[in-house]
Amino acid sequence: MTSKKLVNSVEGCADDALAGLVACDPNLQLLQGHRVALRSDLDSLKGRVALLSGGGSGHEPAHAGFIGKGMLTGVIAGAVFTSPAVGSILAAIRAVAQAGTVGTLLIVKNYTGDRLNFGLAREQARAEGIPVEMVVIGDDSAFTVLKKAGRRGLCGTVLIHKVAGALAEAGVGLEEIAKQVSMVAKAMGTLGLSLSSCSVPGSKPTFELSADEVELGLGIHGEAGVRRIKMATADEIVRLMLDHMTDTSNASHVPVQRGSSVVMMVNNLGGLSFLELGIMADAAVRSLEGRGVKIARALVGTFMSALEMSGFSLTLLLADEPLLKLIDAETTAAAWPNVAKVSVTGRKRSRAAPSEPREAPGSTAAGGLASKRMALVLEQVCATLLGLEEHLNALDRAAGDGDCGTTHSRAARAIQGWLKEGPPPASPAHLLSKLSVLLLEKMGGSSGALYGLFLTAAAQPLKAKTDLPAWSAAMDAGLEAMQKYGKAAPGDRTMLDSLWAAGQELQAWKSPGADLFKVLTKAVKSAEAAAEATKNMEAGAGRASYISSARLDQPDPGAVAAAAILRAILEVLQNQ
């Protein structure tokens, strides 16, 4: 079965992809009759060397993404994973020559088809009197024994584009650019690893991997690598790759050793998530620096892909200060990242956390009757939530993720751990503020944020007074904050329904002579009734709002949890 691809046609996908890039970038133009993209300011290059590269499509953003001032003059694209036509390469050479350039350097990845077609176009152009040189880039560090075909051209070629582009922009001559980039290429190595293959439009995946395998040392055309290894952690994979790349017994190794300074490129092969790419980059930095290697520059992103392949490649280029100046030189190429022009190694990567604001005198006091009572209330609330874990998870499965009980249990265990550290503050405002911070850090999910908002806002009215009207005002403030940021309203089938119902009853505390327990008992009963009523509501907020109401025939777990918390508070206070 062929893979699904968002294309108009298999035959026209390479043309359409290049046309789309040019259509969205005023700095590029297509060469009529050819699959060639050129700088739109070509006439401004009179008297300078032109740089042309290319190869098969499917490696985007390479190669057209690297056209621009300070990088490539143009690219010639073939069909997917297919070398471009000789006629199109020759047309591109003629176009830049007729624009007044003083010579053309062809930057070619080391693949047989590319060498042949670019080489033939070069010979034809030279026969016409056009000065043309060609450098063939082979940066693959996969093969321990070199084959006759040599090292494959991989993502390191992009660094050659950058170095050559900076030299050309500086007015360096054709032969000197060719000489310098050839030397640079010898100090570079790339190794790829993938979790999956890729598939050319209209075709099946080029190879299959079992669930516990990864492919090491593969190229950029879906071909298999040098060996398969068992799935491992990011750190273990990077360590294995660096060991392979720098092993001096490996004929294609890159000569990086302790004390070396390198440009590091972590390249997404097309289908790796940005999360995974960041993890691999972190692992590469730590592993290299642990080996005593200085990372002078770090590039992380998608530079040369293999369609949708879920994998990455790691490139190391030995770099001195003159070379770094070329890497740092300005370019307008759309796909070149905004790289910091400072060393990665040696930079301070964290700063001290901000200091906590000073507490008002007496607000942090702990111990005493009030503190003991609050500890008892919290212990009962925790025990209640832990006992409800499975029930709340079961209710939550109707909305998809089924973790409401787990989330509340995580909060309960965090509070229990906090209580073991010492008695809670006697000040209600300080207690609620501390609980807010704790839940925001430990509870997680939207529930943690909502409880944190509620408690933070509720603490404010209690700073001045702690009588019954102040507690009612605290409930009002908490509910207002939850509605403001959570966007839920009463009747939306959320935890707010229970709290709102209780809050309406607690308004009675604002009346002179109000009875604490009588009002609180009514509030708890109203909260429990509201929680039960949520099973007949249509969800208007939260994840459940995306689920058909026909499937939501149980009470909202958040509302049930909130009502249970209020019941636990009431029971402890009544027993005092």
Do you know the residue count of the chain?
576
- Residue 59 annotated in ligand binding: yes
Which sign does the torsion angle of CA 57, 61, 64, 70 carry?
A: negative
Distance CA 253, CA 242 (A): 10
**Is 535 a known ligand-binding residue?**
no
- Give the residue from 26, 51, 31 showing the smallest Cα distance to 41: 26
Q: Is 408 a catalytic residue?
A: no
Q: Rounded CA gap, 324 and 124, in Å?
A: 35
Is 114 within any annotated ligand binding site? yes
Beta bridge partners of 134: 106
Q: 33 to each of 30, 66, 92, 330, 425, how far by Cα in Å?
A: 9, 22, 11, 32, 78
Tell me whether residue 56 is annotated as binding. yes
State how far the Cα of 310 lies from the Cα of 18, in Å rounded to an integer: 23
Q: Is 524 helix (H, G, I), strand (E, B) or coil?
A: helix
Q: Per the annotation, does 368 bind a ligand?
A: no
Task: Give me the catalytic one of 221, 244, 408, 430.
Answer: 221
Q: How far apart are CA 138 and CA 151, in angstroms?
A: 5
Q: Are 447 and 404 in contact (CB under 8 A)?
A: yes
CA distance 236 to 189: 19
Rounded to whole angstroms, the Cα distance separating 14 from 21 reads 11
DSSP per-residue codes, 311-343:
EEEEEEEE--HHHHHHHHS----TTS----SS-
Residue 150's SS3 state is coil
What order of strands is seen across the sheet that includes strand 132-137?
A: 28-30, 36-39, 74-80, 49-57, 103-109, 132-137
Query: Tokens 């069909």 identify what position?
Result: 79
Nearest Cα neighbor of 75 from 315, 268, 243, 60 is: 60
Q: Report whether 186 belongs to an annotated binding site.
A: no
Binding residues for substrate: 56-59, 109, 114
Which positions are annotated as active-site residues? 221
